[in-house]
Structure formats: structure tokens, C-alpha cells
Structure 1
Amino acid sequence: MQTSERLLRDQDAAAALGVSKTTFWRLTKDGTVPRPIKIGASSRWPQSEILAVIERAKAARAEAA
């Protein structure tokens, strides 16, 4: 049996990244955050993809140091 991954709303994903919803959508538009999964008119992001954005930012910070 496959376990479902939690899907985040824009406000929850933005909160996880510590940014406003406006900034979150800007990051989505520029490709920093992956495009959402559309479920009807709703946009959702797998939690693992938001965590991956954080991990990439941490890796980039380590490379710059």
C-alpha cells in the first residue's frame, strides 16, 4: 500500500519557507519553487518538494562559504 504525501496550500508552503504568499508565487514563477500540482482549481505542492527547496538553499549556502 502506498502512503500519500501531504500536499501543501500556497500559504502553508510559503510559511514553511518563511516568505509571504506574494514572494512564494514569485519564486514559483522564476522556477525556484516547482510548479504546483493542480487539483481542480486548487494548487498544491508536495511537502517533499518544498523541503527540497530548503535543502538546495542550504547546499548553495555551504558552497558559497
Structure 2
Amino acid sequence: MKNIRRDSENNIFAGVLSGIAKQFNWNTTLLRIIWIILTLTPFPGLIIYLLLWIIISKDNLQ
């Protein structure tokens, strides 16, 4: 399992999406756009984001 950390350098809200994008070498902006689209649909995007915020630990960079 990959060690995913919330990104404290490239975050907008909590760094969850930027941490996931950084770990898997994905485009952060594209991932954020996909998340917004999923949140506006019946898909429970906001609930999943909040759960990931609780589960994924923050990186040590301040």
C-alpha cells in the first residue's frame, strides 16, 4: 500500500487531493476538477473527502 500524505505545500482546503495527486503522479488540477464534478452529482464526494481528511495523515512539512 502506498503511503499517502496530505500535501501542506500545494493545498487549497486540506491537501487531500494534492497529496493523492502527488503520490500517484497525477495532475492536481485535473483531480480537483473531477472531484468538483463528482461532488455536484449524486456521488457522495464531499463525504468521501471528509473521511479521507480524517484518515490521511498530514506531511511533516510546514
Normalising by the smaller structure, the TM-score range is: 0.3 to 0.5
TM-score of the pair, normalised by structure 2: 0.35
TM-score of the pair, normalised by structure 1: 0.34
User: Highest CA radius of gyration, 1 or 2?
Assistant: 1
- More relative contact order, 1 or 2 (CA 8 Å, 6+ apart): 2
Higher strand share: 1
